Amino acid sequence: ALGKGRKIVNIVTCNAEVGSGTLDAAGGRFFSSVLPIPGNDLHAVKPGMPLEGLGEDVETVSVAARSQAAGDVLDAGHPVQESVDRCAREDRVPIVHCVVGSKTGIYQPFPAPNFGRLVATRDAFVVVDA
């Protein structure tokens, strides 16, 4: 599924419920200006800067866990599937970041008996953040 030259789309559910650097990290970008690499200038990078050789060909899609108006938990299944289907049309590689028990107890996408089958038919990879 991962072919040279194919762009990656990281679909991140519950972005506001997981770590603040998750979208940057999923997009192949630095999420901190502090580098754990000896000898590197601590001020050489800024959060959001792409990692050379990785960040240029990665797109991130954030799927909200809650409605902005009332804070109700949303079902991420449909927006995730739309993004996965778009990847199939555009010959991109989708990686779906599911959350099993966020800081506030959310599971996204909601457990559905057909979710795995739906994304698998589109050659999507699924990563679980527990």
| Predicted pLDDT at 121 | 67
Mean pLDDT, the chain cut into blocks of 10 residues (130 residues total): 75 82 87 71 76 83 87 84 90 87 74 63 75
| Predicted pLDDT at 42 | 59
| Predicted pLDDT at 37 | 66
What own/partner pairs with CB < 8 Å and gap ≥ 24 does 119-125 have? 119/80, 119/81, 119/84, 119/94, 122/84, 122/85, 122/87, 122/88, 122/94, 123/1, 123/88, 123/93, 123/94, 124/84, 124/87, 124/94, 124/95, 124/96, 125/1, 125/93, 125/94, 125/95, 125/96
| Predicted pLDDT at 34 | 74
